[in-house]
Amino acid sequence: MTFAPSTPGVLEAVQPIVLASGSPRRSEMLAALGLAFTVAPSPEPEPMPLPGEAAEAYALRAARAKAAAVAALHPRAVVIGSDTVVVLGSEIMGKPSGPDEAMLMLSRLVGATHRVVSGCAVHHPGGEPVAFTVSTEVTMGPQPLEVLFAYVASGEPMDKAGAYAIQGRGGFLVESIQGSYNNVVGLPLHRLVETLFAIRAVRAAGL
């Protein structure tokens, strides 16, 4: 799928851009910048966390794997890979396997503070890939069990890391955040734009 801006945006791509993710949320955020880009989800299966692996290391490894697989198919494009995880203490929470696991995740997250960590990797022609992580602290207020059951029944938690979507119905669960909101949604736009500008500057200088 290709996204083309209908009106001028804040950025203009000088090279083809490929988003190595099938996430509608990431596509919406990237499209909001006014960039033209193509969506090409990675053909590789998403890696599992290794025993004892830190959240930042895992998110970065997954993002690099996604970007590298798609960059091999699109060598003339700037390829963006991203992976976002929810971390409670040292435990990495992925997407729930079903309603029961979603309920268990949410019952542990409410009334506590967790971290949302995104790894991002950018491949570009003629240069070394650039990768980084961004972390945001998210605090959820207490919620009655019947409210959590109702939210799980809505179906929204099923394909979300940590079983909630801050930009969707699950926004009511979040009491406060410290850091990037976009990072919690799934793509740290501020850091990504900085990286794209830095890559463009290097290429313009012929370095």
Task: Give catalytic residue positions.
Answer: 83
Angle, CA 132 vertex, CA 2 and CA 108 arms, to 5° = 95
Query: CA quadruple 202, 12, 69, 158: dihedral positive or negative?
Result: positive
Best CA proximity match to 188, nearest among 8, 63, 42, 36: 63
Judging by DSSP bridges, how do beta strands 37-39 and 17-19 pair with one another? parallel
Amino acid at 31: A
- Residue 47: exposed, middle, or buried by beta-carbon count in 10 A (0-12, 13-18, 19+)? middle
Tell me the three state secondary structure of residue 9.
coil
With contact defined as beta carbons under 8 Å apart, do 37 and 13 qualify? yes
Three-state SS string across 40-57, please?
CCCCCCCCCCCCCCCHHH
- What is the distance between the alpha carbons of residues 73 and 75, in angstroms, rounded to a whole number? 6
